Amino acid sequence: MSTRRIPSFRFQHRKPAHYLCFVMSETVFIKNIAQLKTPGPDLHDPVITLSNAGILIENGRISWVGPMEKAPVPGSAAELDATGQTVTPGLIDCHTHLVFAGDRSDEFISRTQGATYEEIAAAGGGIRTTVLKTRSASSTDLLRSARHRIRRWIQQGVTTLEIKTGYGLESESEYRLLRIIDQLKNESPIDISPTFMGAHDIPPDIDRTVWINQIIQDLIPAIAMENLAEAVDVFCEKGVYTIGESDRILAAARKAGLAIKVHADELTPIGGASLAARYQAWSADHLLCVTDQGIRDLSSSGTVAVLLPGTAFYLKKPFAPLSKLTAAGIPVALATDFNPGSCPMESLSMVMTLAALYMGMSADDCLKAVTTNAARALGRHHVTGCLLPGYRADLVIWNAPDWNHLIYHPSVNHTAAVMAQGRWIFSTGEPIECPFH
């Protein structure tokens, strides 16, 4: 059959969203893939690497994957030739603070002159600065900026994205952020996982005890009833929320049927990892200062360690102890922690480069960390993160001869085309053959 190039549709729009238009074909066969890499379905499965491979997608799901010499007859499938290119699962960014107004570039400059994150926060800066800017911004402006950011994530091969609240720190403001995230979820071509993080900092204008009681008694039950969030996160940290306060908030989340995530042991070792383990949380995130006891507790919990090397890089902190975590058998994911203050980083490729250079993570483990393990940190590991039969057809075609190039050369966007749930949602217009007009 004749083939044509995928058209470049990265700047087109579809109603009612402000995203990339998408093209759907019920059956797609991607052939002659130079390198196909995918994690296995189970936690300790090795990464599968195939050369000269093919993958068949039917009705939004993968139905076959393997070497070309064993490929089934594609029949009426739309064939796409990926000669010289690499195919992987769609990337998953499982920790972002993506909806906010303003920036904190002045704080970044202060840190380059020696000021610490803690000193800036104690002086009234940090998260509270963004809270004030976000509260004063219109919903229209917050939506517009978030859409542009999500567009950039898609262009870098991300097909699943977590978004936290936390820049409202007041009941109606947090609700507004949740409604904005819900609108983004409903209109976006990628999968968005909303997380409620009213316990991101102590509000500048509400009594601490009053706010915690509002979170526990009012917000969490209402959010769960309205299905506005999948999980609750808390910044369990010295000077923010204590172990006792975090425990009360997480107990309310568990009672309401919401999943649990914890900002744990980022700046001080106060026991956040052990708390996350006790709740068998989806994830314990940061872990720059995790203790040996915290690692032992995590090792038997099933909780994913979500490491955020971009944050350590920006804050000039020691990186998380990857070797100790992996030696204990703890699944490790990587994420950007994109936010306006401690980590304005939008590139998972750069995150993987930092993990490889400064934490000793292998290229295959980097792939697992931004696919199947990241899916596990969002409760989606049975749905996405692998290129195996039955999984959702979330995948990326990379203009690179192998996966290593994404880590070796992170300053270049290697994305050729992105498929989410069987839909082509992005193409650079590179010479990829496809029968779509």
pLDDT tens digits for 177-213?
A: 999 999 999 999 999 999 999 999 999 899 999 999 9
**Residue 434 above 90 pLDDT?**
no
- Per-residue model confidence as pLDDT tens digits over 95-134: 999 999 999 888 888 888 887 877 877 777 778 889 999 9
**Residue 25 above 70 pLDDT?**
no
pLDDT at residue 12, rounded to an integer: 32
pLDDT-based confidence at residue 429 (cuts at 50, 70, 90): low
The answer to which of 35-44, 99-108, 293-302, 365-374 has the lowest mean pLDDT is 99-108
Mean pLDDT of 30-34: 97
Q: Is 135 helix (H, G, I), strand (E, B) or coil?
A: helix
- Per-residue model confidence as pLDDT tens digits over 128-170: 889 999 999 999 999 999 999 999 999 999 999 999 999 999 9
Percent of the chain with pLDDT over 70: 92
Q: Which residue reads 């006790």 in tokens?
A: 278
pLDDT-based confidence at residue 24 (cuts at 50, 70, 90): low
What is the rounded distance in angstroms from the CA atom of residue 215 to the CA atom of residue 196? Answer: 10
Q: Which residue reads 């509260």 in tokens?
A: 135
**Residue 13 above 90 pLDDT?**
no
What is the rounded distance in angstroms from the CA atom of residue 135 to the CA atom of residue 139? Answer: 9
Percent of the chain with pLDDT over 90: 83
DSSP result, 160-179: EEEEE--S--SHHHHHHHHH
Q: Is the C-alpha dihedral spanning 235, 241, 247, 252 positive or negative?
A: negative
pLDDT at residue 106, rounded to an integer: 83
**Residue 423 above 70 pLDDT?**
yes
Phi, psi at 88, each rounded to 5°: -135, 170
Residues 308/350, Cβ–Cβ less than 8 Å:
no
Q: How many CB atoms lie within 10 A of CB 221?
A: 16
Q: Is the C-alpha dihedral spanning 169, 173, 175, 178 positive or negative?
A: negative
Helix, strand, coil percentages for the chain (3-state, nearest 5): 35, 25, 40
**Residue 83 above 90 pLDDT?**
yes
Indicate the pairing of strand 78-81 with strand 86-89.
unpaired
Q: What is the pTM of this model?
A: 0.92
- Per-residue model confidence as pLDDT tens digits over 353-411: 999 999 999 999 999 999 999 999 999 999 999 999 999 999 999 999 999 999 999 99
Residue 234 in tokens: 């808390």
Higher pLDDT, residue 13 or 197:
197
Q: Which residues pair with 28 in a beta bridge?
A: 57, 78
Mean pLDDT for all residues in the chain: 91
Residue 203 in tokens: 């509000």
Where is 419: in which H helix or E strand?
strand 415-420
Angle, CA 15 vertex, CA 9 and CA 21 arms, to 5°: 15
Where is 293: in which H helix or E strand?
helix 292-299
